[in-house]
Structure 1
Amino acid sequence: MAHRYDINSALLRDLKVPLDGRTSSSHSATPKQHSQGPSVSGTAVIGVAFKDGIVLAADTVGSYGTLCKIRTVPRLLKVNKNTVLAMSGDYADFQFIEQHIGKQSIRDFNSDDGYEWSPKSLHSWLTRVLYNARSKIDPLWNSYVVGGYETETNRPYLGGLTMLGISYTSPYVATGFGRFIAQPFLADQVEKNPELDEKTARVAAIHALRLLYYRNRESSNKYQLAVVTKDNAVVEPVKEFETAWDTALMIRGYD
Structure 2
Amino acid sequence: MEGIDKPLTHTLDPTCTGTSMYALVYKDGVAIATDRVCSYGKTARYKHIGRQYRVNENVIVAFGGDHADFQWLQNVIERKELDLKCYDIGAKLTPKGLHAYLTSLMYYRRSEMNPIMNTIIVAGMHPEPTYDNLVPFIGVITPRGVGYATKHVATGLGAMLLHQNMETVARSNDYKLSRDEAFALLRKCMEVHIYRDCTADNEYDISSITKDGVTMEQPQQVIGSWEISELNNQYE
SS at match of 2:162: helix
SS at match of 1:114: coil
Give yes or no for the alignment of 1:177 onto 2:161: no
Aligned to 1:68: 44
Which has the larger strand fraction?
2
The number of aligned residues is 227
- Once the two structures are superposed, the pairs formed by residues 77-226 of structure 1 within 5 Å of their partners are 77-153=53-129, 154-194=134-174, 195-226=176-207
Deviation at 1:84, TM superposition (A): 0.5
TM-score by length of 1: 0.84
Larger radius of gyration: 1
Deviation at 1:44, TM superposition (A): 0.5
RMSD of aligned alpha carbons: 1.9
Does the aligned pair in 2 maintain the 1:159–1:173 contact within 8 Å? Answer: no
Letter in 2 for 1:160: V
Q: Give unmatched runs, 5+ long, in structure 1.
A: 1-15, 17-26
Q: Measure, in 2, the Cα distance between the counterparts of 1:83 and 1:34.
A: 32
Does the aligned pair in 1 maintain the 2:27–2:178 contact within 8 Å? Answer: yes
Letter in 2 for 1:79: V
Q: Measure, in 2, the Cα distance between the counterparts of 1:146 and 1:32.
A: 32
Query: Over residues 32-53 of structure 1, what are the superposed CA-to-partner deviations in whole Å (9 max), with x where a residue is unaligned?
Result: 8444310100000100110110
Instruction: Decide whether aligned partners of structure 1 residues 108 and 242 sit closer, same or farther in structure 2, where only a CA change above 3 A counts.
Output: same
Instruction: Decide whether aligned partners of structure 1 residues 79 and 250 sit closer, same or farther in structure 2, where only a CA change above 3 A counts.
Output: same
Q: Measure, in 2, the Cα distance between the counterparts of 1:32 and 1:132.
A: 18
Deviation at 1:151, TM superposition (A): 2.1
Q: Measure, in 2, the Cα distance between the counterparts of 1:172 and 1:66.
A: 27
TM-score by length of 2: 0.91
Q: Measure, in 1, the Cα distance between the counterparts of 2:58 and 2:9.
A: 40
Aligned to 2:14: 38
Q: Measure, in 2, the Cα distance between the counterparts of 1:193 and 1:242.
A: 28
SS at match of 1:98: helix
Instruction: Decide whether aligned partners of structure 1 residues 192 and 92 sit closer, same or farther in structure 2, where only a CA change above 3 A counts.
Output: same
Does the aligned pair in 1 maintain the 2:190–2:222 contact within 8 Å? Answer: no
SS at match of 1:68: strand
Letter in 1 for 2:230: L
